[in-house]
């Protein structure tokens, strides 16, 4: 393996992006949340990068994380390389009548309906629908690979413009034998008395943030049941742990078998999150892009869970 001043040709851009996140946050946990990966994954990639560099990049203690001299020198280089990637991807930007929309699979029906609506007014439009995970969606917009991202939640990053399209109630899932199963609209105080079943925080950051934030604002403490493994479903785990409750996106609840379960919404609609369209604020908006965002807003669900 060839090296030049300790630099290996095997260093990956992903590692540099993770390195920048840790360098800017000076906290591995916050960096992992920012990158939408687990803390162990980001620590592993940083360790690989340090091996490839042949130098420690961070000084770690039980309380603090600090850049080493070499780490501080790498920051500007890493930023420059990430910017070069964005520039290179922007060179392949599509013509004005071509556009790429990215979202996850739960928004497939919304995306297709919006594309059909836009093409009625712009028959020349070529709109691709690309499936990506959340972190990949934002990266695709900032790099110019996609022009619109449809996401749950929001994002605070300079250079991006976020349009809230609608607000979505999260659906409370309970086993039929749960003490709250007969309550039409349980409130947070009632729910806080029982453990919540969710995947680990690193694997489902958004749902954790919504519930934790709502409970904290209401002065309530949240208890968790055993985390749901990635190869398990909330519905099956609720049947195994009928004393617990869980929350689902509305689209997930619609496709979940109802046997043995009941679905509710919170009494005061405090378990909500926005659905938003994200675009690159530095790029002029085309008529197709503007109309696509408007068409996505038109696909807001009208069904209300009871």
Class of domain 3-90: mainly alpha
What's the CA gap between 109 and 210, in Å, rounded?
24
CB 151 within 8 A of CB 137: yes
165 or 249, which is more confident: 165
Handedness of CA 194, 199, 202, 208 (dihedral sign): negative
Pick the CATH number of 98-167+273-298 from 3.40.190.10, 3.50.50.60, 2.30.140.10, 3.40.50.1100: 3.40.190.10
Q: What is the pLDDT of residues 133-169, one digit of tens each?
A: 887 899 899 888 999 999 998 888 888 999 999 999 9
pLDDT at 4 over 50: no
User: What are the C-alpha distances in Å from 191 to residues 187, 214, 276?
Assistant: 6, 12, 28
Q: In which element (H, E) is residue 216 found?
A: helix 205-217
pLDDT bucket at 68, cuts 50 / 70 / 90: very high
253 or 225, which is more confident: 225
Residue range(s) in the chain whose domain bears CATH number 3.40.190.290: 171-270
Residue range(s) in the chain whose domain bears CATH number 3.40.190.10: 98-167+273-298
Residue range(s) in the chain whose domain bears CATH number 1.10.10.10: 3-90
Among 160, 124, 120, CA closest to 295? 120
Q: Which residue carries 């990068």 as its tokens?
A: 49
pLDDT at 2 over 50: no
Class of domain 171-270: alpha beta
């Amino acid at each position: 393996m060839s090296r030049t001043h300790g630099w290996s040709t095997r260093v990956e851009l992903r590692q540099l992006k993770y390195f920048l996140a840790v360098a800017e946050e000076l906290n591995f946990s916050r960096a992992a949340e920012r990158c939408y990966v687990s803390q162990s994954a980001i620590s592993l990639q940083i360790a690989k990068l340090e091996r490839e560099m042949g130098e420690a990049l961070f000084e770690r203690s039980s309380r603090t994380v600090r850049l080493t001299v070499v780490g501080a020198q790498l920051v500007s280089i890493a930023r420059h390389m990430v910017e070069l990637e964005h520039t290179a991807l922007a060179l392949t930007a599509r013509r004005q009548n071509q556009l790429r929309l990215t979202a996850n699979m739960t928004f497939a029906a919304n995306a297709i309906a919006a594309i059909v609506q836009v093409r009625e007014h712009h028959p020349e439009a070529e709109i691709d629908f690309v499936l990506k995970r959340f972190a990949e969606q934002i990266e695709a917009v900032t790099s110019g690979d996609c022009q619109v991202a449809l996401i749950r939640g929001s994002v605070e990053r300079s250079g991006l413009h976020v349009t809230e399209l609608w607000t979505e109630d999260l659906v409370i899932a309970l086993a039929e034998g749960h003490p709250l199963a007969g309550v039409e609209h349980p409130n947070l105080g009632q729910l806080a008395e029982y453990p919540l079943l969710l995947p680990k925080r690193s694997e489902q950051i958004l749902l954790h943030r919504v519930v934790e934030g709502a409970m904290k604002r209401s002065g309530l403490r949240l208890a968790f049941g055993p985390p749901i493994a990635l190869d398990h479903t909330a519905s099956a785990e609720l049947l195994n742990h009928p004393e617990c409750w869980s929350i689902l996106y509305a689209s997930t609840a619609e496709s979940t078998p109802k046997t043995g379960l009941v679905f509710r919404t919170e009494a005061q609609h405090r378990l909500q999150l926005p659905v938003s369209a994200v675009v690159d604020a530095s790029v002029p908006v085309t008529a197709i892009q503007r109309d696509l965002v408007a068409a996505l807003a038109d696909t807001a669900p009208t069904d209300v869970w009871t």
